[in-house]
């Protein structure tokens, strides 16, 4: 009887424990990896300034109680950043090196002063009819804003 209960417990516990990795596609990525990836894919690989601005938005979200409290948690939120940001291949070596360098700076506390407390951005050139979007910066092909 005890043996049967132990076997049943093992069968039930195994999927639950392994589910952690299944539920979190970024479980094996470091904060530097996640930050590098979001900068690489979201700044159009255009400039250090654009990458820094994207990284600043990510950190603003990490510090906000309404968002996940980790870099990978923020970057991994559905429908917030470029599709495939955590798994697409990064093919441009020079852009990847710049993104990694900027990611390390942001994680050490460096921020884009023009972003301020903004927690959102979209591709520059788009316009939306919402009155609660307050723009603070255009950099790296993106327009950065906060909501009121």
Q: Which residue has the higher pLDDT, 132 or 43?
A: 132
Contact 38, 85 (CB under 8 A): yes
CB 135 within 8 A of CB 124: no
pLDDT tens profile 44-66:
777 999 999 999 999 999 999 99
Q: What is the CATH number of the domain that holds 111?
A: 1.10.10.2520
What span, in angstroms and rounded, lies between the C-alpha atoms of 95 and 36? 10
Helix (H, G, I), strand (E, B) or coil at 69: coil
Q: Per the domain annotation, does 4 fall within a domain?
A: no
* Residue 56 structural domain: 28-117
- Is residue 3 in some structural domain? no
Give a yes or no: residue 22 inside a domain. no
């Amino acid at each position: 009887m005890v043996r049967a209960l132990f076997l049943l417990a093992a069968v039930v516990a195994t999927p639950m424990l392994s589910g952690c990795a299944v539920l979190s596609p970024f479980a094996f990525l470091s904060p530097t990896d996640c930050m590098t990836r979001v900068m690489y894919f979201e700044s159009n690989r255009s400039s250090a300034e654009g990458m820094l601005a994207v990284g600043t938005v990510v950190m603003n979200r990490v510090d906000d109680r309404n968002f996940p409290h980790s870099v990978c948690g923020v970057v991994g939120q559905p429908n917030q950043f470029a599709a495939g940001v955590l798994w697409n291949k990064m093919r441009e070596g020079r852009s990847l090196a710049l993104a990694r360098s900027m990611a390390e700076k942001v994680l050490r506390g460096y921020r884009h002063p023009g972003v301020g407390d903004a927690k959102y951005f979209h591709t520059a050139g788009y316009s939306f009819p919402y009155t609660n979007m307050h723009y603070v910066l255009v950099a790296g092909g993106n327009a950065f804003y906060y909501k009121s």
